């Protein structure tokens, strides 16, 4: 019996269910069928610790959903408490037997149960029974244990199911696409599926070719109009999405491909389907996540053309309703967003897609909440009440008044606090007892530049040069990089600009240079990649130096440094760039060079590297995952990732102490710099420069201006005694409460 095949059959069957109740019944029915047992039952733990019988094939139906085993009681309770399987004959004679009224279980004389464990906690128990008085074989027990471990992942969201059934609304979980809270009514975006078009024969070739050229012209005009509508408020990168559509529409491979299909006897829709399907499949088959995300653009463009063809046949779409709307669909397109009035657009929900989708990029740029990849939602219709939390990736369909009121309060509080923060833009980030903290912005796109300055950034603390590389179709040339870096330098004027050299690998792939590694977090990334591709590094350094000229505000950061040899090699490449530019007559100056402290090995080596570096910047995201050996992007272990783990706090303090002894300026970037629980600790350690996303700058400035550094030191001293991150957050939460810091005081991981 194949566990994988069995699980696949069961999960696929459950996936077709319309409700949680039907879903769990599909699970137990599937196990009963696959194992050929008389009974299969699923018990799931409630908030009160009881084990509720939620589904069964074989027991009396009157007991399902109505009876439960008290915590620690019965055979089921014993399995939950021990977290160990139980395989016995004549269960009714066992001292721990607990009879479930209405279940008729006394007729079954063999019993085998395994715990369902998720993140170390028992969330349920899976039970199989037979009438024959014979123990289950070791192979059957092992099979059930294996199946139970997999099924724990399937039923892990049981608490959400309970909440949904109790309150009458559905709670969906997806990927955070763009932060914010959105409330309104569902507007289903037209999702004509070109790929479902059947083959058709061409009746009049010349008419079909004429219609195809008209469709191209019509859609090109529409795309240009949408671009014009949004262009004034968007960055070059987001506006470039429309340029990409226009390029595809003008691509001979598309236009000629359809014409050849029509010439071969196909009608326009089926000729279009074949060409679009071909290129979408090519992108979908690629390993790189960015390129896979581009298949959505190809599909959208095909459906866009097909929609125009449908409209030419006098088919019209439903009108946009009055009031706030949440656009919902399989792939809500850039065009859908562009065609929705800004005052009505309250959010976006996509059944599919990722945070790399152009939909998510545009939603972020517009400040519209978005949730991606929630999965197919059945029975959804226009006008249904919907609430989304973009930051948490949560979607609530038909939320009750209590939930709406809670989110309305949160939304109002956020808006009021944001309004108050605007007055702080030009004020310094100084504690109440006079300790000044410099607040810098992180950036990677042109869209991030102006928001940072508008929110009072004193400099650009981390410019992620890899992002322009990631959204390009090839390695950007030196001239392209120069133009981009010059724009960044000009925007910040005489303010410091810290540019990190290309940091790709792990979770930051290049679409045109895929790297396949079994353990990419420990592989060919950061400075290792740069030095192995010295010509790319040289071009990037030349572009940076030319953009900075003699201004003196450029600082260069090296990522993932772990050895002295890497610093020596980099220095040699930098020397080459300076010499080449000097020989060519460019007026440039040698910039300060620093490193990201991300690899734990760097901490003990700072003294030996001092002559090669001028400053250090702590990369809290990577440092935390390497100290804890936790991949923050892996959902199975991500819950253990926490930058407030005592070990991470201790290592950051060690970095600061080493920097002080070596007279090295030190800053911190990453999520920790904008975590209000962490900021008082960082100030107490002695960090005087923090770099964060532009949106977080006003909030953290408010916090710093409300703090007293002496009190922060006492908080830090207490934190140093804590045994885990929960204890640390308890201490910091109390302090934030004293400061009346809004919204996040009770926040936990």
Average pLDDT, the chain: 83
Task: For residue 189, give the nearest of 54, 377, 343 by alpha carbon.
Answer: 377
294 and 330: one domain? no
Catalytic residue among 57, 643, 669, 677: 669
Backbone angles phi, psi at 116, to 5 degrees: -100, 115
Domain containing 497 — which CATH number? 3.20.20.60
Q: How confident is the model at residue 378 (pLDDT cuts 50, 70, 90)?
A: low
Q: How confident is the model at residue 448 (pLDDT cuts 50, 70, 90)?
A: low
The pLDDT value given to residue 746: 39
pLDDT tens for each residue of 200-242: 888 888 888 988 988 888 888 888 877 776 655 454 555 556 7
Task: For residue 1, give the nearest of 52, 36, 38 by alpha carbon.
Answer: 36
pLDDT tens for each residue of 402-437: 888 888 877 777 777 667 777 788 899 999 999 999
Q: What is the distance between the alpha carbons of residues 649 and 179, in angstroms, rounded to a whole number?
A: 27
The pLDDT value given to residue 127: 95
On whether residue 704 sits in a domain, the answer given is no
pLDDT tens for each residue of 651-694: 999 999 999 999 999 999 988 998 899 999 999 999 999 998 77
Check pLDDT > 90 for residue 500.
yes
152 and 195: one domain? no
**Which of 657, 679, 694 finishes a domain?**
694
Angle among Cα 213, 215, 217 to the nearest 5 degrees reads 70
- Strand pairing class (181-188; 385-389): antiparallel
Task: For residue 278, give both structure tokens.
Answer: 């071909």
Residues above pLDDT 70, as percent of the chain: 81
The domain of 367 spans 170-187+319-416
Task: For residue 439, give both structure tokens.
Answer: 């607040």
The pLDDT value given to residue 194: 76
On whether residue 741 sits in a domain, the answer given is no
57 and 70: one domain? yes
pLDDT tens for each residue of 86-112: 999 999 999 999 888 878 888 899 999
Check pLDDT > 50 for residue 340.
yes
On whether residue 713 sits in a domain, the answer given is no
Q: What is the mean pLDDT of residues 270-281?
A: 84
Q: What is the distance between the alpha carbons of residues 445 and 466, in angstroms, rounded to a whole number?
A: 10
Task: For residue 197, give both structure tokens.
Answer: 């078009």
SS3 readout for 284-329: HCCCCHHHHHHHHHHHHHHHHHHHHHHHHCCCCCCCCCCCCEEEEE
SS3 readout for 354-398: CCCCHHHHHHHHHCCCEEECCCCCCCCCCCCEEEEECCCCEEEEC
Q: How confident is the model at residue 438 (pLDDT cuts 50, 70, 90)?
A: very high
In sequence order, what DSSP letters do the residues of 629-649 get, joined into one string?
Answer: T--TT-TTTGGG--TTSHHHH
596 and 636: one domain? yes
How many DSSP H helices and E strands does the chain contain?
Answer: 26, 22
> Helix, strand, or coil here: 441?
strand
Burial class (CB in 10 A: 0-12, 13-18, 19+), 252: exposed
* Residue partners of 619: CB distance under 8 A and separation at least 6: 559, 596, 597, 598, 669, 670
Check pLDDT > 60 for residue 271.
yes
Q: How confident is the model at residue 748 (pLDDT cuts 50, 70, 90)?
A: very low
Check pLDDT > 50 for residue 316.
no
Task: For residue 461, give both structure tokens.
Answer: 């603390």
Q: Count the neighbouring beta carbons within 10 Å of the beta carbon of residue 392.
A: 13
On whether residue 42 sits in a domain, the answer given is yes
Maximum CA extent, the chain: 94
Residue, of 553 and 152, whose pLDDT is higher:
553
Q: How confident is the model at residue 43 (pLDDT cuts 50, 70, 90)?
A: very high
Q: How confident is the model at residue 360 (pLDDT cuts 50, 70, 90)?
A: confident
Backbone angles phi, psi at 570, to 5 degrees: -65, -45
On whether residue 552 sits in a domain, the answer given is yes
Task: For residue 34, give both structure tokens.
Answer: 């696959």
Domain containing 261 — which CATH number? 1.10.274.10
Task: For residue 598, give the nearest of 556, 628, 570 by alpha carbon.
Answer: 628
Check pLDDT > 70 for residue 446.
no
On whether residue 269 sits in a domain, the answer given is yes
Domain containing 383 — which CATH number? 3.50.30.10
Catalytic residue among 57, 331, 358, 677: 358
Task: For residue 264, give both structure tokens.
Answer: 């071969």
Task: For residue 388, give the nearest of 86, 562, 179, 216 by alpha carbon.
Answer: 179
Check pLDDT > 80 for residue 519.
no
Q: 548-575 burial string, b = 16+ CB within 10 Å, else e?
A: beebebbbbbbbbbbeeebbebbeebbe
> Helix, strand, or coil here: 692?
strand
257 and 334: one domain? no
640 and 589: one domain? yes
- Tell me whether residue 358 is one of the annotated catalytic residues: yes
Q: What is the mean pLDDT of residues 246-271?
A: 85
The pLDDT value given to residue 240: 58
**Which of 694, 716, 737 finishes a domain?**
694
On whether residue 424 sits in a domain, the answer given is no
On whether residue 508 sits in a domain, the answer given is yes
Angle among Cα 346, 349, 351 to the nearest 5 degrees reads 170
393 and 521: one domain? no
461 and 540: one domain? yes
SS3 readout for 515-555: CCCCCHHHCCCCHHHHHHCHHHHHHHHHHHHHHHCCCCCEE
The pLDDT value given to residue 561: 96
Q: How confident is the model at residue 546 (pLDDT cuts 50, 70, 90)?
A: very high
> Helix, strand, or coil here: 255?
helix
Q: How confident is the model at residue 65 (pLDDT cuts 50, 70, 90)?
A: confident
Residue 676 per-residue DSSP state: T
Q: What is the distance between the alpha carbons of residues 198 and 714, in angstroms, rounded to a whole number?
A: 72
Q: How confident is the model at residue 744 (pLDDT cuts 50, 70, 90)?
A: very low
626 and 528: one domain? yes
Query: How would you list the strands of the sheet with 121-130, edge to edge?
Result: 68-69, 51-57, 39-45, 121-130, 110-118, 86-89
Report CA torsion sign: 154, 159, 165, 167.
Answer: negative
Q: Where are the alpha helices (DSSP H) in 116-204?
A: 138-154, 158-167
The pLDDT value given to residue 193: 66
**Which of 694, 713, 730 finishes a domain?**
694
The pLDDT value given to residue 315: 46
- Tell me whether residue 84 is one of the annotated catalytic residues: no
How many domains, in total, are found in the chain? 4
* Residue partners of 73: CB distance under 8 A and separation at least 6: 96, 98
Q: Which residues pair with 349 in a beta bridge?
A: 328, 371
Task: For residue 557, give the nearest of 572, 574, 580, 577 by alpha carbon.
Answer: 574
352 and 234: one domain? no
CB 211 within 8 A of CB 309: yes
* Residue partners of 41: CB distance under 8 A and separation at least 6: 28, 53, 55, 56, 57, 58, 59, 126, 127, 128, 129
The pLDDT value given to residue 293: 58
Q: What is the mean pLDDT of residues 39-57?
A: 89
Q: Count the neighbouring beta carbons within 10 Å of the beta carbon of residue 450.
A: 13
pLDDT tens for each residue of 703-736: 999 999 999 999 999 999 999 999 999 999 999 9
335 and 277: one domain? no
Which of 118-122, 614-618, 741-745 is least confident? 741-745
* Residue partners of 334: CB distance under 8 A and separation at least 6: 226, 241, 242, 245, 300, 358, 359, 362
176 and 307: one domain? no
């Amino acid at each position: 019996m194949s566990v994988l095949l069995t699980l696949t059959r069961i999960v696929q069957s459950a996936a077709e269910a319309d409700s949680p109740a039907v879903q769990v019944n599909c699970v137990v029915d599937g196990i009963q069928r696959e194992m050929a047992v008389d009974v299969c039952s699923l018990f799931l733990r409630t908030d009160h610790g009881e084990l509720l019988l939620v589904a069964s094939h074989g027991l009396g139906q009157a007991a399902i959903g109505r009876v439960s085993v008290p915590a620690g009681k019965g055979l089921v309770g014993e399995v939950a408490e021990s977290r160990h399987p139980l395989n016995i004959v004549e269960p009714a004679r066992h001292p721990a037997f607990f009879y479930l009224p209405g279940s008729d279980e006394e007729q079954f004389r063999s019993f085998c149960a395994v715990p369902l464990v998720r993140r170390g906690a028992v969330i349920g128990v899976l039970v199989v029974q037979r009438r024959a008085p014979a123990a289950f074989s070791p192979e059957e027990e092992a099979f059930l244990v294996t199946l139970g471990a997999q099924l724990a992942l399937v039923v892990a969201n049981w608490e959400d199911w309970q909440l949904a059934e109790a309150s009458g609304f559905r709670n969906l979980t997806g990927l955070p696409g763009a932060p914010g809270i959105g409330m309104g009514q569902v507007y289903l975006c037209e999702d004509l599926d070109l790929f479902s078009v059947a083959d058709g024969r061409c009746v009049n070739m010349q008419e079909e070719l004429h219609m195809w050229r008209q469709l191209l012209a019509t859609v090109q005009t529409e795309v240009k109009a949408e671009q014009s509508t949004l262009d004034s408020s968007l960055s070059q990168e987001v506006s470039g999405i429309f340029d990409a559509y226009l390029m595809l529409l003008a691509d001979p491979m598309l236009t000629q491909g359809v014409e050849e299909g029509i010439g071969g006897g196909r009608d326009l829709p089926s000729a279009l389907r074949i060409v679009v399907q071909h290129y979408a499949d090519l992108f979908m088959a690629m390993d790189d996540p960015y390129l896979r995300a581009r298949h959505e653009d190809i599909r959208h463009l095909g459906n866009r053309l097909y929609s125009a063809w449908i409209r030419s046949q006098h088919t019209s779409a439903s009108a946009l309703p009055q009031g706030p709307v949440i656009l919902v669909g399989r792939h809500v397109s850039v065009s859908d967003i562009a065609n929705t009035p800004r005052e009505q657009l309250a959010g976006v929900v996509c059944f599919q897609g990722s945070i790399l989708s152009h939909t998510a990029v545009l939603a972020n740029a517009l400040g519209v909440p978005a949730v991606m990849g929630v999965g197919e939602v059945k029975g959804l219709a226009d006008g249904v009440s919907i609430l989304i939390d973009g930051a948490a990736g949560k979607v609530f369909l038909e939320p009750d008044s209590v939930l709406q009121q809670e989110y309305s309060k949160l939304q109002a509080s956020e808006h009021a606090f944001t309004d108050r923060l605007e007055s702080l833009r030009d004020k310094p980030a100084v504690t109440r007892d006079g300790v000044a903290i410099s607040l810098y912005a992180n950036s990677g796109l042109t869209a991030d530049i102006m928001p940072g300055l508008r929110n009072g950034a004193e400099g650009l603390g981390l410019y992620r040069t890899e992002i322009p590389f990631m959204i390009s179709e090839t390695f950007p040339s030196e001239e392209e990089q120069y133009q981009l870096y010059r724009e960044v330098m000009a925007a910040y004027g005489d303010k410091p600009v810290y540019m990190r050299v290309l940091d790709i690998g792990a979770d930051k792939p290049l679409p045109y240079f895929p790297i396949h590694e079994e353990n990419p977090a420990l592989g060919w990334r950061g400075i290792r990649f740069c030095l192995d591709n010295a010509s790319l590094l040289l071009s990037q350094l030349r572009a940076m130096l030319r953009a900075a000229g003699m201004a003196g505000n450029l600082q260069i950061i090296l990522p993932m440094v772990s050895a002295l040899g890497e610093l020596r090699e980099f220095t040699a490449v930098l020397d080459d760039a300076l010499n080449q530019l000097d020989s060519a007559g460019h007026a440039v100056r040698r910039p300060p060079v620093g490193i990201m402290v991300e690899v734990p090995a760097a901490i003990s080596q700072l003294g030996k590297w001092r002559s090669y570096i001028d400053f250090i910047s702590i990369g809290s995201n990577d440092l935390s995952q390497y100290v804890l050996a936790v991949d923050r992007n892996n959902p199975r272990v991500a819950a253990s990732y926490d930058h407030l783990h005592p070990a991470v706090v201790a290592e950051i303090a060690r970095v600061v102490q080493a920097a002080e002894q070596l007279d090295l300026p030190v800053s911190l970037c990453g999520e920790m710099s904008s975590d209000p629980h962490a900021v008082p600790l960082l100030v107490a350690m002695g960090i005087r420069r923090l770099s964060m996303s532009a949106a977080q700058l006003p909030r953290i400035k408010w916090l710093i201006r409300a703090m007293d550094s002496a009190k922060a030191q006492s908080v830090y001293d207490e934190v140093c005694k804590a045994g885990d991150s929960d204890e640390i957050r308890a201490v910091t939460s109390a302090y934030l409460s004293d400061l009346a810091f809004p919204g996040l005081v009770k926040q936990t991981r």
